[in-house]
Structure 1
């Protein structure tokens, strides 16, 4: 390694590997042992630091070229066919670590948690938290048990993912995938029980990952870059499971599990005071819409959420409780209560969620329930786009909003409501509104729209100009007058030339409209006003306007 300062990189790599490998997992233990053996046999050669990576060759049965990335272990490479962290990468790590300290001490320190927690492992066995295959061997086919399932998920999560202070968030999705594979491998064999097991696992895992994110203090932007896809995958998985459960008759034995799961889903709202609000709301909404259908269940959940709202702690975000309570009111058919509560929530919080209910009711063709929602949505929209600030973000949201309200307006012949929506959504809806006006040939409103958003003749394409010349040439007159005056006001030779081009176009239009007297009068007045602008007068003479 020569004089290259590697201590800091080695420590980073050491922390990465400790976070990635667990002394509780036999395959991880074997991986460490194999890497240690290759290192101790002196099979690591040409060790060096290049471009921020540790690089070396490991003389195994087939020589392996290794690149170890100390910042993001998942971006490390090895020429062997193994996926993920392999024995060659471990051997290179030990060879690099030996430059700083004792490899034997590192291995001993890595194994320490296992020795410290052996008594917990024994307790876990006593509690029935063995691996599924061990339980099957000991007791035959294991009877489904909700509490034992959740307990096993918690232990697996804390062992593989939780319980560590990660500095690099990109490690989490790799460990989380390992954890999910573990718990899925222990799923019941029976198809029906497997579905409910996987549903409970997804909900509990989702909640645990939310809590871990909060404990680690990662901001939302970091979570979205590093492992937001893990939440999206779980949401997709829950949706698929619920869809499968919806097309089959569920046995009565499921009732107890569904009852427990309801409480689990409520904890999605209370498990953290802030963060990942939309994802938690979405999962709660999905399950209460598709799975928890009993009226008394929904009434009780709305009451529980209402009670919690009354006793929110300082700094606790009320949005997840307010939105889910509004959704439950809609599910119960209490639209008046839902709309009243929605109207009391600040626009920046509630407006995006209103599209969900507009889309849901439109899909079910519940048109009577859609209209008041659209009316409230349009009242709140301007403040919401002002709060968004970004033109791009507002444009993207307006596109979603138009898609949401179009089915209602189309099916019920409410062109008036659609046009009002387009007006409220300006300037982001300009293209759609212009298209609507041109479709019905409403040139006067079209001209007003152009003036409203501050567009003029120079913003017209050739197609628009030709169509206006043919259908409503008089509308071009005003636009050309404004464009010519704007160029004259710039007071430079280039703008004077452009002004003259507009004036020549004006002369052609006046002639077409048989209003040459008006043209002569206008030009005389213009030349009189600009007689001190010698360069402009010269351009007029050169173009033979004079």
Structure 2
């Protein structure tokens, strides 16, 4: 959207001037078509508006800078060198006009006023709206993409960015008005753009510097596609929806990069607008044939994993979980990132018996799966897995799987494991956990320590012993004071436990071992732990 608007009357008056100017051109239709194309392809950027003037960048064969005088159109100029109204000036005008009214309506008004001069001007999207068919949309998309390729021949970063943030919006501007058709059309525009991103990205996969940028833009497109899935389509659109399955599959098998995004888009669409048992059965038959073809390929570049993941998802939608599990167990490494979404879906529906089968199947894979991920992803996935197993445990009162997964995901599960052990009164395990993590008693919640102290203070002895040594190793006056505080707590514990001989043995040995630590010896005396 424009940052600064001209009043509509200013733009309407400018439109009249431009219409009069165009009437003097023999090739006005060609000029308008080229300007419309530049406008709709999103080639206009960095628009500046001031004192009745507007300027911008327009990327055609190269960068041009048109400067438009809305009060006196003939005085406008452009760096392209054309001394009259050029496509870049007109494209900029269309961009400005779109903030107050539809450009297509303006073009139609110009056509009606032409009084038969020249051939009738076709709207750029006429082919698109002539028939509401997916094949018609695809033809239109391909034509737009061909033009996009001709205009955008700059470096890959710009190409990818403009494909996602300019080309796709230019397609969506031509969407049908009817709401259901608009969403379905926009979905296909997104699928088409994503497929082109994959095809283009295949050429760059050997260049690691583009990987993150590709991934980021692919995520943007995936989100844009999934935004179109919230609408429930009526029965009248079922033929178009059924026809859509072919194009969703085509996206899935469009290339070998961005596999995670391709599979997730496929699954999202089949889980929502294509979730029809008859269509699923047909899709499974087609994929089984494709799977056989992939197995017969002799090169390493095949789509075996994609076919297996897609078939597993379709089996899941038909609640044929054993088949889904069988297909997933044949994939290495085990694709837990896909199955966790299914398990969360089952948990939301409180289908606990069904969930139990999936938890049993995935539990042996959890530790190796997390270990293979980077640090950030590991934390995120571990959190989701812990929440999932925890929900099952709370609903069924079966905590054995939960404890196993907490143990498998340590240290990512440290906080949850600590809470779990404490709530179940397994205080010895709780202490052992914190000893293993080398957590000082000062870092622990005093109220928790008080509960354990009341239950069995002997369990806390190792924590305080280890904390004393840790403080002494810091070798500074403050840490020695803290060590003495811990020692006083230990003395109290040993007295209550009637183990004063053990205390005396311990403190004697400690004093001897650290006799060269004069500051520590002074603190011991101040604390009356040894004689002065």
Tell me, yes or no, if structure 1 residue 342 matches structure 2 residue 351: no
Tell me, yes or no, if structure 1 residue 209 matches structure 2 residue 197: yes
* Residue matched to 2:119: none
- Alignment partners' CA distance in 1, 2:170 and 2:484: 77
Tell me, yes or no, if structure 1 residue 277 matches structure 2 residue 286: no
Taking a change above 3 Å as real, the CA distance of residues 319 and 103 of structure 1, as seen in their structure-2 partners, is farther
* Residue matched to 1:234: 225
* Residue matched to 2:35: 26
Name the SS of the counterpart of 2:529 in structure 1: coil
What is the Cα-based RMSD across aligned positions, in Å?
A: 4.4
* Residue matched to 1:10: none
Q: What is the aligned counterpart of 1:483 among 439, 464, 467?
A: 467
* Residue matched to 1:440: 424
Name the SS of the counterpart of 2:425 in structure 1: coil
- Alignment partners' CA distance in 1, 2:483 and 2:69: 71
Name the SS of the counterpart of 1:221 in structure 2: helix
1:302·1:328 contact (CA, 8 Å) conserved in 2?
no
- Alignment partners' CA distance in 2, 1:23 and 1:207: 30
- Alignment partners' CA distance in 1, 2:174 and 2:292: 38
* Residue matched to 1:543: 527
* Residue matched to 2:245: 262
1:107-506 to 2 correspondences below 5 Å: 131=123, 134=126, 142-160=130-148, 164-167=152-155, 169-170=157-158, 172-174=160-162, 176-188=164-176, 193-215=181-203, 219-225=210-216, 228-237=219-228, 239-240=229-230, 243-245=231-233, 248-250=234-236, 254-255=238-239, 257-274=240-257, 276-290=258-272, 291-293=274-276, 294=278, 295-311=280-296, 313-316=299-302, 318-347=304-333, 350-390=335-375, 392-488=376-472, 495-506=479-490
2:431·2:460 contact (CA, 8 Å) conserved in 1?
no
- Alignment partners' CA distance in 1, 2:351 and 2:426: 32
Taking a change above 3 Å as real, the CA distance of residues 162 and 377 of structure 1, as seen in their structure-2 partners, is farther
Taking a change above 3 Å as real, the CA distance of residues 61 and 424 of structure 1, as seen in their structure-2 partners, is closer
1:131·1:186 contact (CA, 8 Å) conserved in 2?
no
Taking a change above 3 Å as real, the CA distance of residues 181 and 532 of structure 1, as seen in their structure-2 partners, is closer
- Alignment partners' CA distance in 1, 2:477 and 2:187: 73
Taking a change above 3 Å as real, the CA distance of residues 108 and 330 of structure 1, as seen in their structure-2 partners, is same
1:355·1:401 contact (CA, 8 Å) conserved in 2?
yes
- Alignment partners' CA distance in 2, 1:530 and 1:163: 78
1:269·1:320 contact (CA, 8 Å) conserved in 2?
yes
1:351·1:384 contact (CA, 8 Å) conserved in 2?
yes
Name the SS of the counterpart of 2:232 in structure 1: helix
1:161·1:175 contact (CA, 8 Å) conserved in 2?
no
Superimposed CA distance per residue, residues 33-63 of structure 1 (whole angstroms, 9 cap, x where no aligned partner): xx9xxxxxxxxxxxxxxxxxx99x99x7546
Taking a change above 3 Å as real, the CA distance of residues 396 and 383 of structure 1, as seen in their structure-2 partners, is same
Taking a change above 3 Å as real, the CA distance of residues 142 and 466 of structure 1, as seen in their structure-2 partners, is same
| Aligned residue-pair number | 450
Name the SS of the counterpart of 2:411 in structure 1: coil
- Alignment partners' CA distance in 2, 1:458 and 1:505: 13
- Alignment partners' CA distance in 1, 2:438 and 2:448: 17
Taking a change above 3 Å as real, the CA distance of residues 133 and 169 of structure 1, as seen in their structure-2 partners, is closer
Taking a change above 3 Å as real, the CA distance of residues 69 and 437 of structure 1, as seen in their structure-2 partners, is farther
Name the SS of the counterpart of 2:222 in structure 1: helix
* The 10-residue stretch of structure 1 (381-390 or 467-476) with the greater mean CA deviation from structure 2: 467-476
Taking a change above 3 Å as real, the CA distance of residues 491 and 182 of structure 1, as seen in their structure-2 partners, is closer
Superimposed CA distance per residue, residues 6-40 of structure 1 (whole angstroms, 9 cap, x where no aligned partner): xxxxxxxxxxxxxxxx9964246699xxx9xxxxx
Q: Which runs of 5+ in 2 are unaligned?
A: 1-30, 89-121
* Residue matched to 1:40: none
- Alignment partners' CA distance in 2, 1:159 and 1:265: 24
Task: Give the structure-2-normalised TM-score.
Answer: 0.71
1:161·1:172 contact (CA, 8 Å) conserved in 2?
no
- Alignment partners' CA distance in 1, 2:196 and 2:146: 9
Post-superposition offset of 1:223: 2.3
Taking a change above 3 Å as real, the CA distance of residues 260 and 215 of structure 1, as seen in their structure-2 partners, is farther
- Alignment partners' CA distance in 2, 1:384 and 1:89: 63
Post-superposition offset of 1:408: 2.6
Post-superposition offset of 1:531: 4.8
1:23·1:29 contact (CA, 8 Å) conserved in 2?
no
- Alignment partners' CA distance in 1, 2:407 and 2:69: 60
Post-superposition offset of 1:398: 1.1
- Alignment partners' CA distance in 1, 2:164 and 2:518: 76
1:437·1:443 contact (CA, 8 Å) conserved in 2?
yes
